């Protein structure tokens, strides 16, 4: 696993351009802002309780061991509770009554959460 310098592109493992990357432009214009985390559903008591349960259950990053770019998995501490295999938005659209159920989530380190979130938004 190669170390990334802060401020370098993370679109692909072999891209080492500084940001903004001339090869991998942003998919969202910089002037378009997302709603804050509370408005997206990540600020209530239920979310904080579910997050705590997931991080206690998965103390180490649960990134797939069979990832061809990172064989052997990741052994970093989980710091993010990630909805998986469907995103929170997909769970809400499907009418799931409790999208913040810990059984619908996994613990990831920050790097893999950002990698997964960027991949699912693209």
Same structural domain for residues 27 and 59?
no
How many domains is the chain partitioned into structurally? 2
Same domain, 55 and 114: yes
* Per-residue confidence (pLDDT) for residue 1, from 0 to 100: 44
Calculate the CA 107 to chain-centre distance: 9
Q: Which domain holds residue 27?
A: 1-31
Assess if residue 41 is contained within a domain: no
Nearest CA to 54 out of 91, 99, 104 is that of 104
Residues 60 and 23 in one domain: no
pLDDT digits over 10-51, tens only? 767 777 777 778 877 766 555 566 677 667 667 788 889 999
Same domain, 56 and 26: no
Which tokens hold the place of 19? 């940001």
Q: Is residue 37 in some structural domain? A: no
| pLDDT, tens only, 38-90 | 676 677 888 899 999 999 999 999 998 877 777 778 889 999 999 999 988 89
Task: Scan for tokens 């997931």, then name that residue.
Answer: 54
Is 75 among the domain residues? Answer: yes
């Amino acid at each position: 696993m190669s170390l990334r310098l802060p401020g370098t592109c993370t679109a692909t493992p072999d891209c080492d351009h500084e940001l903004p990357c001339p090869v991998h432009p942003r998919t969202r214009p910089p002037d378009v802002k997302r709603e804050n985390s509370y408005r997206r559903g990540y600020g209530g008591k239920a979310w904080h309780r579910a997050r705590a349960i997931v991080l206690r259950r998965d103390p180490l990053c649960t990134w797939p061991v069979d990832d061809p770019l990172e064989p052997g998995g990741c052994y970093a501490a989980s710091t993010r509770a990630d909805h998986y295999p469907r995103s929170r938005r997909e769970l809400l659209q499907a009418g799931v009554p409790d999208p913040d159920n810990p059984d619908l989530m996994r613990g990831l380190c920050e790097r893999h959460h950002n990698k997964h979130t960027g991949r699912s938004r693209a």
